Structures are given as C-alpha cells and as structure tokens.
Structure 1
Amino acid sequence: MHPLVTPFRLAIPQDQLDDLAQRLERTRWPDPSPVEDGRQGPPLAKLRALADHWRTSYDWRRCEDLLNGLGSCRTTIDGVDLHFLHIRSHHADALPLLMTHGWPGSVLEFRHVIDPLVNPTAHGGRAEDAFHLVIPSMPGFGFSGKPTEPGWNTARIAGAWAVLMQRLGYDRWAAQGGDWGAMVTLTLGHMSAPGLVGIHLNFVPFQPTEAEIAQAIPEEHQMLQDAARYDADYSGYMKLMGTRPQSVGFGLADSPVGLAAWIYALFQDVSDSGGNPEAVFSLDEIIDDIMLYWLPNAGPSSARLYWEGMQATRAGGMPTRKVPTPTGISMFRGEQVRLSQRWAEGRFGQLLHFREHARGGHFAALEAPDALVWDIRDTMRSLR
C-alpha cells in the first residue's frame, strides 16, 4: 500500500446512534399534503413508514460491517481527506476501474455490481472481464473530508481522481459514472487523464442543439419531452442547491427526517419505480444511503457541489469539442435526461458501445446491476 494511503475502519460511537434514535422519536411531522400522490414531494405515509423502520428495525452495524469489508481506505489529496473503497480482483490481468457516484448517491450505490465486476467468473463472465475497483466518496460526501474553500467543482475532483489512481500504482485504468459521477468521468475523458484508456457513462448531461431539436425523430421527441418534464416538475432540489445550498443545509444537518425526505424524493422521482421506490429498493438500501449523509453531516457539504457546478457553468462549463477518450454509454428508459445514439455520436469521438435498456432509471447500479455490468464489460473489452 502507498505510504499516503491508510486503511479506514468505521466505528461510529453508540452515542451518535442514540442521538439519531432520539431525534427520530421527537420528529414533528407536517400535515398531509392536499395532494398526497408525490407531486408535492414524498407522501407523509411513506416517510412515516421509513422513519418507523429506521427507528425500530434498521441496523447500522450491518452497513458498517459491509463498508469495512470492502477495502475502505483514506488518503489526502489537494488538502482534502478522501475516503474510497479499493477492491482488488484475484484475476491477475484485471483492469482498474474508477467508479464515481453522484447526489444523492454514495459508494453503496455500487453494492450490487462490485462482485460481478471483480469476480466475473462467478457471475456469468470471463476471467478477462475482471476489474480492480476504486470507488471514492466525493469531497463533501460520505466519509470524505469537507472542502473548506470554494472551487471544488467536477474539474478539481477529476484532477484529484487522476492523482488517486496514480497513487494506487495504476498506469492503465478506466472510469465509470452516473449523475455527478458522469460529470467527473466526462471531465476525465476530456482531459485525457494520464493512464485513462476508456470511460463508461449511464448518464450524459447535454443540451440538444436547435438542429437536433428540429430534426428529432419520434424517439428523440420523447427524450426531449421527458427532459422538459424533469426540468418543470422534478428539478427544484437542483435549483435550490445550485443557488442557496446553505439555506437547506441547516435542515439537512439538524433533522434526520428532513434529510431523509430530501433524499427520498429523488429515489421517488428519478428511479424507474412509477413513484413507488419501495418497489425497487429495500428500505434498508435507502436508509443505508441516507446514513452516509447523516452520520458525517454531509447533507450541507454535498449540497454545495450544485453551487460549485453552477459557478463552473457560468464560467464556461464543459468543453464543446468531442470527448476524445473511447466511450461506452448505457441509456436506461427510466432516466429522465437521455440522448439518442446519433446525438451521442456527435459528442464522442470514439463511441465504442451504446445500448438502450427498457428498464432501469437514474440509479442504474442499484436498479439494473446486471445490465450495467454487461455494458461496462462490453465497453472495456477492446481496451484491455
């Protein structure tokens, strides 16, 4: 292990868990919405059920053991302590793969794809499909440190990730991401980071051109309509955190149910669940994710990434040239913001793989892990 990388073992003090239980017990609930179908946010009954399970049945120590068993490490880069999972395959020629989550995700977003990627022969793959995985918590997220100065946008995070992969001794590696993780991965692709051989995305942030809109075929019209619906109905969280993250930060820091509702809304709105996330995710999976925001008080610090993203956009945003790094893309039908293959071909210089899936949404690694694993394998086979 590199001398600047140290093992990191989670052991949350019991008094923090007791405090959480007391806060849950003392929750002051809002009145039911006049429209309890999700259009105004999470229904009261859904959050009450989640909080009851959290308070009476949920076991954090199970989640803690899971994280401790996945090669949890820390290192300091650019002044910020970074937490990451480092899972090495027993297959000698495994390709290192950096996987980056978004908001309100966490390193646990990848829990169902880890073993299939690391141990492919146990999951219908071949030995030559194996990956070593590096799964960092973004700065201000999970058990990574919180930036104390502005400027930690996706470009700076991408630079830190490139250093991390070099520090781990990987001179040839690939990267994957969705949501903010896709922005970081795209940035790595644009900058042709040292050693980066290819990227895979399950989300592609883009703005269609006037020509693309005018020449859209029916499937692309549907994509435009879905994106417009997302902007009109589901993006309030993004606009608030992009302009006033500290305003919501006080509530996210102080109220576990307030934090849970803020996060649950995304599981409700952008998963392929028809507005019923419990049909796709277990309550334990949802609460595990919330705990990685509650315990380290990462609700406010993670929200600031949206503000940083807004500042970067005003300063020029992503490059407009084609991404030069070989790329694979998975588009899941439940993702609100999608693009077609021909739109992708205009933005990526080497599009190795493009596949559309009828099921799955924004949290692809949790919702459709098998499909995502096969697409990552297919993307990287020619790059090993």
Structure 2
Amino acid sequence: MPDAQLRPEPFIQQTAPAALEDLRARLRATRWPDTPEDAGWSLGTDLDYLRELVTYWAEDFDWPAQEARLARLPRFRVPLGGLGIHFVHARATAPTTPALPLVLSHGWPDSFWRYSKVVPLLTDPGAHGGDPADAFDVVVPDMPGYGYSDRPAGPPLDSVAVAGLWAELMTVLGYERFGAAGGDVGSHVSRYLGLDHPDRVVAVHRTDGGLPVFTGDPADLTQEERSWIDGAAAWGAVEGAYAAIHRTKPQTAAFGLTDSPAGLAAWIVEKLRSWSDSDGDIERSFTKDEILTNITLYWLTGTIGSSMRMYRANAAIPPAQHARRVEVPSGFSLFPGEPVLPPRAWLERTTNMVRLTEPARGGHFAAFEEPEAYAQELRDFFRPYRTGTAAD
C-alpha cells in the first residue's frame, strides 16, 4: 500500500523574468575562442554552429512557451531518501484492460525531457495508431541532481541507490508490480531495478547494454564479444574524454559550465549531435527549440555539476555488482545511431534476454528522436507482462 506519510505535491515551474534576462545578457557577452580553419566538429563543438545557436537562444528562443508545453505533463515532487524528487506521473487514458505501470529512467545529458514526446503515446495508444489495450501508467522521475529533483548535498547517488529510490517511488504511487525501461544511465538504473527488486519488476527494457565490464576469463567470451569490448575501448579512447572528466574532476568543469551558458551549450550539443542518428546534421534529429529546451533546463536548475558527479559514483560500484545477471525478462531495442552496440551473445550472457530488435532509425535519444517507434517497441515488448500489475 502507498506510504501515507509521503504525499506527492503538484509541481509547476514558472521562471522569473530576471533569470531569463540574466541568461540573455550572458549569452550576448560570450567570449568566443579561436578555432583552426575548417575544423568543423572534428575538435569538438563547431564554432559557427554554436554562434548560430547562441544567437537564437539570446534573441528568438521562447522559453516561457516551452515551459508551458512541459507544464502540460502532470508533474509532481515527493520527498524520498531525504531529497525532493521531481517526476511525471501520467495515468493511462481509458485503457481497455488494466494499464501497466512503467517507470522510465533518463540518462545524461538530459532529464525528464527525454520522454516528454513519448508520454502521450504510451498513456493513450488508441489515439496514436496503437491498441488501447497497450496503455501504460507512466512515471518519469528526474534523477537526483538532474532537472527539478534536489541535488545531493553529500556524496552523489549511484545507479544502485537510484533504483532503490524508484522502487520506493512506485510504492508511494501504489504500484506493487511494474515495468522498467531506460537508456544511458537510465539503462543501468533499470538493470538494478531488475536485479534488486525482481519480485516487483515484471520485465526490463533497455536501448543499450552499457559499456562492457567483464571480470571473468576472456577465454570464456565469444570472438564477437571480445571484438565488441575492444571496439568499446577504442570508442572510449576517442570519444570518452567527457566521461573521464565526469568520473575524476567534475567540479573543475562545473565552474565554467555553470557560469557560461555558451560553454554549457557546447558541452551538451556536441553529445546530442554525435550520439543521435543525425548523420552529422544535428537538426535532422532535434530542432533548435528542442535542443535549447534541454540546455535551458540545465541552466536554470544549475544541475550540470551535480549531474556529472553521478559518473563518479557509478565508477565506484564494485565489480561484483557488474557481474550479476538480470534474471527478470529483459528486452533490448538497439537503434542504429547508438554509439556502442552490444552483440547478442553479450546480452544473453548478462540478462535473461527474451527479445532483441533493431529499429530502422534513431539513436541514443531514441525516445525523443523517434517517439512513435520507441513507443511501439515498449508496447510490443511489455505486452506479455501486463497481468497483476494494477495499482492498489
């Protein structure tokens, strides 16, 4: 039964005009670096594109309109583990069968924003070309230190601890049994929900297998798995500088990223481009308004530093935790733009994998890039696990 002492309170955020004026003043005063001729995106964020984006942010971006759009989602806050946790709780619209409760966990560099397009597709599938029987009650929390959730004052929480908070949140909302899904850091959280709460989690869906951590004898791996582990290491050597900073010295980077909105945009937009299925054209996957909504959430909440610190916490998770196999039914939708795609053998080794699909389009932010396809992946995967999950 729900804990009567924990009462979610409706949450509506309205940004003070002074905060937006300060943001615009900072954007207009940006001190730009030099860049080698024709560098483009080869050294990181492209100077010409960022100038264009920052000008739009300062002069044309309508944050109040985007804030009002996000406010159409039913949003709440509740105290959990000594922290105020912000979350979306959208109940199914007139399902023909009991709706399946589903907790969606986001990653970095984003927040509940990642799932803002897909929520109505999941709660009311009948209105979006789906079967009304596939409706979900959707819960999308902001992780501690992200979005509108509180920032931990002490050590950051790791994915194991966040999974425990999400299990508590689902209890507060009256859900004894539920599904879990996510990507990026949210993939890890969903994994630990399945590992630590197998009596409550009916199934786990993920859009990646995480970066490989293997503590056994390499001779036990298939050649495909060994090649993948080598490829992931090569990817990390070329693309993983951000993660090394997050794991080791996040506070150093946080000073500049918290003070400069242009710097914050450069840090985030390069990942949106390189991890999406954009073929190098970021606005093939995201409009300027969509990019800036995500970045403005980080700016106004001041959470870039606290979000990065979660990498440090996750790096300290003991190897024995990584070696545990998820025994609850697990499904994977591997979208083609995902940076590090695991082989089937690895997924079968580490989980009770019952379904693996490879959608035609989409990347690391699949729920935002291809919301219709992502919603259908969740409907198809969770369909066999819908019995006995109604709220108390």
Normalising by structure 1, what TM-score?
Answer: 0.93
Q: 2:344 maps to which residue?
A: 341
Deviations 1:303-334 (A, max 9, x none): 1111111122xx33634132011111111121
Alignment of 1:194-343 (within 5 A): 194-205=199-210, 206-207=212-213, 210-211=218-219, 215-216=223-224, 221=227, 223=228, 227-312=232-317, 315-316=318-319, 318-343=321-346
Greater mean alpha carbon deviation, residues 286-295 or residues 28-37 = 28-37
Does residue 10 in structure 1 map to residue 18 in structure 2? no
State how 1:15-164 maps to structure 2 within 5 Å.
15-34=18-37, 36-92=39-95, 93-164=98-169
Percent identical across equivalent pairs?
A: 38
Counterpart of 1:110, as a letter, is Y
Distance (whole Å) between structure 1 residues aligned to residue 40 and residue 161 of structure 2: 40
Residue equivalent to 2:389 = none
1:84 aligned partner, one-letter code: F
Q: How far apart, in 2, do the equivalents of 1:36 and 1:355 lie?
A: 37
Quote the offset at 1:148 in angstroms.
0.8
Q: CA deviation at 1:229?
A: 4.3
Q: What's the offset of the Cα at 1:211?
A: 4.1
Between 1:234-243 and 1:188-197, the stretch displaced more is 188-197
Residue 70 of structure 1: SS of its match in structure 2? coil
Distance across 1 between alignment mates of 2:374 and 2:234:
25
Taking the aligned partners of 2:44 and 2:116, their CA distance within structure 1 comes to 27
Secondary structure of residue in 2 paired with 1:307 = helix
2:361 corresponds to which residue? 359
Distance in 1 (CA, whole Å) between partners of 2:360 and 2:62 is 34
State which drifts further: 190-199 or 147-156.
190-199
CA shift, 1:232, in A, is 2.1
Distance 1:13 1:195 in 2: 41
Q: Deviations over 1:6-47 (max 9, x none)?
A: 001111111000100100011101112345231210110010
Three-state SS of the structure 1 residue aligned to 2:129 is: coil
Structure 1: segments with no counterpart, 5+ residues: none
- Secondary structure, aligned partner of 1:109: helix
In 1: Cα distance, 2:220 partner to 2:20 partner: 52
Alignment equivalent of 1:178, drawn from 178, 183, 186:
183
| Aligned AA (1:215) | Q
SS of structure 2 residue aligned to 1:295: helix
TM-fit CA distance, 1:226: 5.2
Q: Which runs of 5+ in 2 are unaligned?
A: 387-392
Q: RMSD value over aligned CA atoms?
A: 1.9
Structure 1, residues 255-309: CA drift from partner, whole Å, max 9, x if none?
Answer: 0001110001101221121222112110111100001110010011111111111
Distance change in 2, residues 1:207/1:357 (3 Å) = farther
| Aligned equivalent of 2:192, options 178, 187, 203 | 187
How far apart in 2 are the matches of 1:63 and 1:304? 27
Letter of the structure 2 residue corresponding to residue 114 of structure 1: V
Asked if the contact 1:200/1:329 (under 8 Å) is kept, the reply is yes
Give the Å deviation of 1:112. 2.2
Q: How far off is 1:341 after superposition?
A: 2.1
What CA deviation, in whole Å up to 9, does each residue of 1:125-145 have, x standing for no partner? 111100011001110001110
What is the TM-score when the length of structure 2 is the normalising length?
0.92
Instruction: Confirm or deny: 8 A CA contact 2:9 2:78 kept in the other structure.
Output: yes
Structure 2 distance, partners of 1:80, 1:330, is 32
For the residues of structure 1 that align with 2:36 and 2:80, how far apart are their CA atoms? 45
- Inter-CA distance 382–309: structure 2 relative to 1 (3 Å threshold): same
Quick check: 1:328–1:354 contact (8 Å CA) kept in 2? Answer: yes
Shift of 1:224: 5.4
Contact 1:118 1:131 in 2 (8 A): yes
Cα distance in 1, alignment partners of residues 151 and 213 from structure 2: 31
Q: Equivalent residue of 1:84, what SS?
A: strand
Partner Cα distance (2:220, 2:274) in 1: 27
By how many angstroms is 1:72 displaced? 1.0
Determine helix, strand or coil for the equivalent of 1:361.
coil
**2:334 alignment partner AA:** M
Give the conservation status (yes or no) of the 8 Å contact 1:197–1:383.
yes
Aligned-residue offset at 1:69: 1.2
Q: Are the counterparts in 2 of residues 171 and 194 from structure 1 also a CA contact under 8 Å?
A: no
Is the 8 Å Cα contact of residues 234 and 269 (structure 1) preserved in structure 2? Answer: no
- Are residues 151 and 105 of structure 1, via their aligned partners in 2, closer, same or farther at CA, if it must alter by over 3 Å? closer
1:225, distance to aligned residue in structure 2 (A):
6.7
Q: Secondary structure, in 3 states, of the residue corresponding to 1:324?
A: strand
What is the deviation of 1:91? 2.8
